[in-house]
Chains A and B, each alone.
Chain A
Amino acid sequence: MTDSAYGAELPPWARVVLPVVGLALLVALWQLLAVAVVADSTLLPTPLQMASNLWNWIAGGGFLQHLLATLAGTLGGLAIGASLGFAAGVLVGEVKALDRSVYPMVLALQAMPVVAIAPLVIVWFGIGLASKVALVAIGTFFVMFVHTVSGMHAAAAELIDMCRAFGGTRWRIVFAVKVRLALNYVFSGLEVCAALSFILCVVGEFIAADNGLGYYIKASSSNIDAAGMFAAVAVLAALASLLALVVRVAHRRVVFWQFRKP
Chain B
Amino acid sequence: MGGLSLVAGTALRRLLPFALLVALWWLLVWALGVPERLMPSPPEVAQRLYLGLVADGDMWTHVGATLRATLLGFAIGSLLAVAVGSLLAMSRTLELLCYPAVVLIQSVPKVAIAPLVLLWMGFELRSTATLVALICFFPVFVGTFVGVRAAPPVLLDLFRTLNAGRLRTFLHCNLPNAAGSILAGLQVGWGFALVGCVVMEFITGTGGTGFLIDNSANALDTRTAVAAMVLLGVLGYLGGSLLHLARRRLIFWEGDRHDG
Contact = CB atoms under 8 A, between A and B. Distances in A.
Contact of A105 (B20, B96, B225): B20
Interface in A175-210: 195, 198-199, 202-203, 206-207
Contacts of B107: 237-238, 240-241
B115 A217 contact: yes
Contacts of A19: 96-97, 99-100
B115 A117 contact: no
Contacts of B160: 5
A90 interface: no
A119 B217 contact: yes
A214 B116 contact: no
Interface in A120-154: 120, 122-124, 150
A108 B14 CA distance: 9
A34 to B, nearest CB: 13
A112 B236 contact: yes
Contact of A206 (B16, B24, B93, B202): B202
Contacts of A7: 90-93
Contacts of A2: 153, 156-157
A107 interface: yes
B120 interface: yes
A241 B98 CA distance: 19
B118 interface: yes
A105 B19 CA distance: 9
A109 B210 CA distance: 17
Interface string B156-195: 1100100000000100000000000000000000010011
B130 interface: no
Interface stretch (B1-9, B53-61, B74-82, B226-234): B226-234
A213 B108 CA distance: 14
B17 interface: yes
Contact of A15 (B39, B96, B203, B229): B96
B202 A203 contact: yes
Contacts of B17: 104-105, 107-108
Contacts of B98: 22
Interface residues of B, number: 68
B109 A237 contact: yes
Main secondary structure of the interface of A (DSSP, over half): helix
B198 interface: yes
Given A18-B93, A26-B104, A199-B111, A229 B116 contact: yes
Q: Pick from A6, A19, A118, A241 the residue with the most CB of B within 10 Å.
A: A6
A219 to B, nearest CB: 9
B156 A115 contact: no
Contacts of B222: 120, 123
A202 B199 CA distance: 10
B200 to A, nearest CB: 10
Q: Pick from A25, A119, A199, A229 the residue with the most CB of B within 10 Å.
A: A119
A244 to B, nearest CB: 8
A6 B92 contact: yes
A198 B99 contact: no
A233 interface: yes
B149 A112 contact: no
A117 B229 CA distance: 8
A224 B119 contact: yes
B118 A26 contact: no
Given A10-B93, A206-B199, 14 more contacts: A2-B153, A5-B156, A25-B97, A43-B120, A120-B229, A123-B222, A202-B111, A214-B112, A220-B115, A229-B119, A233-B108, A237-B112, A240-B107, A240-B109
Interface of A: 2-3, 5-7, 10, 14-15, 18-19, 21-23, 25-26, 43-44, 101, 104-105, 107-109, 111-113, 115-120, 122-124, 150, 195, 198-199, 202-203, 206-207, 213-214, 217-218, 220-221, 224, 226, 229-230, 232-233, 236-238, 240-241
23 contacts: A5-B151, A5-B169, A6-B149, A10-B92, A10-B96, A14-B96, A18-B93, A19-B97, A19-B99, A22-B97, A22-B100, A26-B101, A104-B17, A105-B17, A108-B17, A108-B18, A119-B218, A120-B229, A213-B112, A218-B115, A218-B203, A229-B115, A233-B113
